[in-house]
Chains A and B, each alone.
Chain A
């Protein structure tokens, strides 16, 4: 229900901006600031670059607003613009950074998760701790680029598999494979760290 009315509101605001009420663009983008920045930061790895890329993405969205087709949500469209902005910046820095935009060589074999016998859930309140947030951010930004992109679109920005495939220009099957690998890589990386950092852990005598 809310989603439908959100989309309608969005469509009305966009129509109004295009009709000349350009100041409404400020209101239109406010709910999307964090997700655009998160996308830019996890792709570009540093805050000033991410902020600049995020600003640029919003400017591009404003300039191209007339091309926005109501078929997708505005937020989805914005995320595609951000992805392209971040990608083109990565490409121009590629020689310096040596981060490959291609499939990493080890990507053919299966990914093995971290093995454990029991998992005590880490509650969301743990995110109040800077240490935990930093740990998660680091693990995401450490993923090879092709996995990081899919993971961000699907699991952070919550795009559908189809939308992610479209935004990345890859097949739906590739999205699924890369997403799976990204998730298992994160599990492998984060499980030992989170277990150590979770203060409420309780070692059962038989484990």
Chain B
């Protein structure tokens, strides 16, 4: 069976994740071999996923860690039970 482009697009995500059945995977692969449009769609999608997974996309604001750990410190002190020798 020969897949049309629009059917191949439905499988792009599964293809990238390696979750397609062997038969579908083979059909998609065959299509990709001769279709430059679908190949470019696959390559660009893969490229975009690599970029969006990069740590640099979402950077922490300046001072984020300091403010977070200060708030945590206050919380930790507040709810930590006093050591046994301080108890009545």
A-side residues, CB < 8 A to B, are 20, 22-23, 25-26, 29-30, 33-34, 37-38, 41-42, 47, 51, 54-55, 58-59, 62-63, 110-119, 121-122, 124, 126-128, 132-133, 136-137, 140, 155-156, 158, 161, 176, 179-180, 183-184, 186-187, 190-191, 194
Contact B50 A116, beta carbon cutoff 8 Å? no
Query: Which of B10, B54, B58, B72 has a CB less than 8 Å from the CB of A41?
Result: B58
A51-B64, A110-B6 are known contacts. Are A127 and B45 too (CB-CB below 8 A)?
no
> Can you list 29 A-B pairs, Cβ within 8 angstroms, ordered by A?
A20-B80, A20-B83, A25-B76, A33-B64, A37-B64, A59-B75, A62-B75, A62-B76, A110-B6, A110-B10, A113-B12, A113-B45, A114-B41, A116-B44, A117-B40, A119-B43, A122-B47, A127-B56, A132-B51, A136-B48, A136-B57, A137-B58, A155-B52, A156-B58, A161-B17, A176-B13, A180-B10, A180-B14, A186-B45
Contact B52 A124, beta carbon cutoff 8 Å? no
Query: Which 6 A/B pairs are nearest by Cβ-Cβ distance?
Result: A38-B58, A180-B13, A119-B43, A119-B44, A119-B40, A127-B56
Query: Which of A37, A41, A54, A124 has a CB less than 8 Å from the CB of B51?
Result: A124
Q: How far is the CA of A121 from the CA of B14 in the complex (A)?
A: 21
CB neighbours of A33 from chain B (8 A)? 60, 64-65, 68
Chain A residue nearest to B50 (CB atoms) is: A124
A34-B60, A113-B41, A133-B56 are known contacts. Are A122 and B51 too (CB-CB below 8 A)?
yes
Contact A140 B52, beta carbon cutoff 8 Å? yes
Q: Does B36 contact A (CB under 8 A)?
A: yes
**Smallest distance from the beta carbon of A25 to chain B beta carbons, Å?**
6
CB neighbours of B60 from chain A (8 A)? 33-34, 37
Q: How far is the CA of A25 from the CA of B60 in the complex (A)?
A: 19
Q: Does B1 contact A (CB under 8 A)?
A: no
- Interface SS of chain A: helix
Q: How far is the CA of A123 from the CA of B26 in the complex (A)?
A: 29
Q: Does B3 contact A (CB under 8 A)?
A: no
